[in-house]
Amino acid sequence: MKIGVVGVCASGKSTLISQLSAAGYEAKHIAQEHSYVPEMWKKISNPDVLIYLEASYPTTLLRRKIDWSLADWEEQVFRLRHARENADLIIPTDHLNPRQIFSIVEEFLSNLR
């Protein structure tokens, strides 16, 4: 099963992908947030499962030293709209730690089998 992970910068994509890979899953970061092509996530990977990680603008600033504005964050959310609409699992990550996010994903994936 091929898993694609999308979300704004600092939403937890890299951490989740590392955890999924360590658990034996085929997981890929899809840099949809940097593409103007709405369906780029599908063209890049065409995953069996698409996971969308949400993070608010203030949370992204707390998680990582990012030199970006609210408008930049809003643009990424806009670019991710098609992926979000087609996501199999959407996780608001603001109040979750990486272990909790992985547990949510792992439970979701186990229910697909």
The whole domain housing 51 covers 13-112
Residue 23 inside a domain? The answer is yes
**Going residue by residue through the chain (113 aa), what tens digit of pLDDT does each one get?**
999 999 999 999 999 999 999 999 999 998 877 777 778 888 788 899 999 999 999 999 999 888 899 999 999 999 999 999 999 999 999 999 999 999 999 999 999 97
| CA distance linking residue 84 with residue 70, whole number of Å | 19
Residue 8 inside a domain? The answer is no
Residue 50 inside a domain? The answer is yes
- What does residue 49 show for φ and ψ, rounded to 5 degrees? -135, 130
Split into its structural domains, the chain has a count of 1
Q: What pLDDT score does 44 carry?
A: 80
Read off the pTM: 0.93
